[in-house]
Structure formats: C-alpha cells, structure tokens
Amino acid sequence: MSRRASWAALALALAVSGCRPREEVVDAGGASSGAAPSSSAGAAPARTTRILYPSAPGSFVDLVADARRKVVAIRAAAPVESGPAAMFPGAGPFSTGAKDVALGTGFLVEARGVHVLTTDRIAAASTQLLVVLGDGTEAPATVVGRDPRFDVALLSIQVPRLEPLELGDSDELRVGEWVVALGNPFGDEVTASAGIVAATGRTGGGVLGPTPASRYRSYLQIDARIHRGNSGGPLINAAGVVVGVAVATGDRPGEIGFAIPINRVKEVLGALKEYGLVARSWLGILVRPVTAEVAGQVGLAEPAGALVTEVRAGSPAAAAGLVAGDVVLRWQGQKVDPRTLPWKVAETPVGTRVAVTVWRAGAEKEVGVTTEKMPE
C-alpha cells in the first residue's frame, strides 16, 4: 500500500471510530511530558514529539452502515439442508438435519451491469435462487457463471438502479490490517465481525492446485469470525472497499477465517460473465523461492525466479522437458516468482504454446510449453 493510501485508510479508520491520535512530548531519556523535571545541572534535555495512535478503532458503525445496503441474502425457493440454520447451537457442525430456505450471503458488484457475487457452494445449493436486497425486496436470481475451483459464482437479478460495492486491491493488504466481514444470512439484518489480516496468502500462490488445501493456502487468513451465515459476503477494509469474499470452512469456534482475495476474483469476473465458467491452464510443477544461497549454488547473479522442486508425471511441464532444479525466470517474456507464476499459467488460454525462460546448468534456456486444462 502506498504511504498516501496508508495514511488515508488510517485517517478514515480513526474518523469512523471517533478515536483521535494524541501527541506526547518526551525527553531524550524517554520520559514523557508528565514526568518530574530533571534535577541535573546544565541545558534542558532535548525534547521530541511522538504521535500515539489507538491500537484499534472503537467502532465500525459508520463503515457497516455505508456498506449494508449492498450486502444481500440468498435464499432457496424451498428449504435445503446445511444452510446457515445449521450453525445454531444444537444443530452440530455442518449439520444435515437443520433445514431452512436461507443459503448465505452475497454482495452487489459491477460486472458490466450490477450483479451479485457469492460463493459457488451457495449458488449450487438450489436450482431456484432468490436474492433479498437491503430493503427487504426479493428478486429471482439467475446463475451467470460458476468457478467451483475457487468457490465463487456470479448471479444476475433484474432490479434497476442498484449501487455496487467498490472492489479494492487485495495485493496491498498487509498482516495486521483491520478488516470487517459482513453477512446477511437470513435477509433480516446485516451482521459484522471485525478482525485483522493474519496472512495474505501471497506466498502460498505457488500451490494453485486441484485440492482444497492448495486453494486455501492462497486465500487471505483473518481472525474475524467466518461462519456459514456470512460466507459469500464481502470482506472490507478501513476504506470501505472489498478486499475479499468470505468463505466458511466450518462452524466450530476458533477456526481460521478465510477469504478469497478480491484480486483473484477480479481476474475471473469477465470469464464468468461472458462464458459462465473459468478454464484454467496448468503447468504441473511445484516451486519455491530462490534464496541467496540457492542463487549462489546455481550460478545466478541474484535471487530471481521460481525454483522447480517437483515435476508431475504426464504434465505439460514434463512433456516440455522441465526438470527439478530448473529456475523459471520468465513466462511469455514476463518475470515471475513462486507467487506470480501459478497465476500467469492459470490465466493463459488452454492450448497456448508459451516460451518459458529457465536457468539451467549456469545459462538461460528457452523451453516451449503447451498449456493444458487444469485437472478437476
């Protein structure tokens, strides 16, 4: 995040909370202005001023009030199992016995027209979906596109003059930053849970694979409570923009909260709108960062690229002759690292012949790779 953006977000958070920074004058020895004056002879000790900020905002009331009209509930036309009703005490974790029409949360987004973004699990729970707007209005919803791998879905509703939430930049998030998860599980009240970013998921980008565990390592981790009620809802920062889509992995207290980074969602919105699905490519390698030590071992002038640690049998990488120990430097001429390489590959159309620059045996080598559809 830029310094200007950081100060703007902090100022807004302080304004929202009603908290204000205060100044404290301290001498060179660290004593505050409230301490007794020094008895030593000579010149007065040097004084400096430090700004003390509150450790946390006191209230998110205005922040939630501004966003609540853009957060919606999603219902089924008939009762279904394992919706938000199953999270209540006595229902058991992910109970299959509690039935309700409530499915979860969504929020309004701009995708060349206002649509509803939610999780794929919610969109797949019923063949007939209803969206409950902030004023209680119900509208039939049509599934425009689904991405089961990353658990997002785009819905369409025929309601004019709706205002979407602004999508932010999840790559600017830093560990320790305040975020708020919003939900509207039953269509009667917007819920909110606040917390901090525990992990950005950016270093887990090298494992964009076919398993849920791989995906979650690329998600935002937050300590705000995420349950089935606010699953599908927006995760907003102190500036009130969306930085993630909340997803629930369970209903037990103390579980890690996850959110899909909004930058990953923005990458697929166009495909969901135009084609109804996302066809990702894969390479079939595992990678890790190139440290200074590794760079020295392989003869690189400086740490760069992504070190290949494993090549899957039968993968496009294996067919192209990539081997463990190669360092992938560029994908189609663009520099890559373990975080960016999986996304560059995934965004490349299936069946594309790509020039991949690798470092092998002390020299650069260009390898031709033909991308294939990522296994389900």
CA distance to 16, 134, 352, per residue, from 355 (Å):
50, 50, 10
Give residue 56's pLDDT.
53
| pLDDT of 18 strictly over 70 | no
pLDDT in tens, 174-222: 999 999 999 999 998 999 999 999 998 765 544 444 455 455 667 899 9
Do 187 and 102 meet the contact criterion of CB atoms below 8 Å apart?
yes
Residue 77 has pLDDT above 70, yes or no: yes
170-268, which class in CATH?
A: mainly beta
Contacts of 34 (CB under 8 A, 6+ apart): none
> What pLDDT was estimated at residue 240?
93
DSSP 165: P
Residue 139 has pLDDT above 60, yes or no: yes
CB atoms within 10 A of CB 315: 18
Per-residue pLDDT for 2 more than 50? no
pLDDT-based confidence at 342, cuts 50/70/90?
confident
Q: How is residue 165 written in tokens?
A: 């939430």
Token pair 């039935």: residue: 99
The pair of three-digit structure tokens given for residue 168, joined into one six-digit string = 């932010």
Any idea which residue has 């649509």 for tokens?
A: 115
Encoding tokens for residue 360?
A: 């092998």
Q: Average pLDDT in the 324-333 region?
A: 96
For the segment 102-133, what is each residue's pLDDT rounded down to a tens digit? Answer: 999 999 999 888 999 999 999 999 999 999 99
CATH 2.40.10.10 is held by the domain 63-157:
yes
pLDDT band of residue 251 (cuts 50, 70, 90) is: low
CA distances from 117 to 1, 104, 110, 339 (A): 25, 12, 9, 25
Q: Which residues pair with 156 in a beta bridge?
A: 142
Domains 63-157 and 281-373 share a fold: no
pLDDT exceeds 60 at position 338: yes
- Torsion angle, CA of 297/298/299/304, rounded to 10 degrees? -110
Write down the CATH superfamily of domain 281-373.
PDZ domain (2.30.42.10)
Instruction: Give the pLDDT score at 36.
Output: 41
pLDDT at 374: 85
Please determine, for residue 165, whether its predicted confidence score (pLDDT) is greater than 80.
yes
Task: Give the pLDDT confidence score for residue 303 in this predicted structure.
Answer: 96
Q: Residue 245's pLDDT is what?
A: 97
Task: List C-alpha distances in Å: 348 to 141, 227, 318.
Answer: 31, 34, 18
Half-sphere exposure at residue 222, Cβ-oriented, CA atoms within 13 angstroms: 33
Query: pLDDT value at position 207?
Result: 42
Domain locations in the chain as residue ranges: 1-30+45-58, 63-157, 170-268, 281-373
Would you state the pLDDT for residue 50? 46
pLDDT score at 116: 98
Look at 17 and 149; give whichever has higher pLDDT: 149
Measured over the CA atoms of residue 265, residue 121, residue 141 and residue 160, the dihedral's sign is negative
Mean pLDDT of the chain: 82
Q: What's the confidence (pLDDT) of residue 79?
A: 87
Residues 9-26, mean pLDDT to the nearest whole number = 46
Q: Report residue 63 as tokens.
A: 């922040």
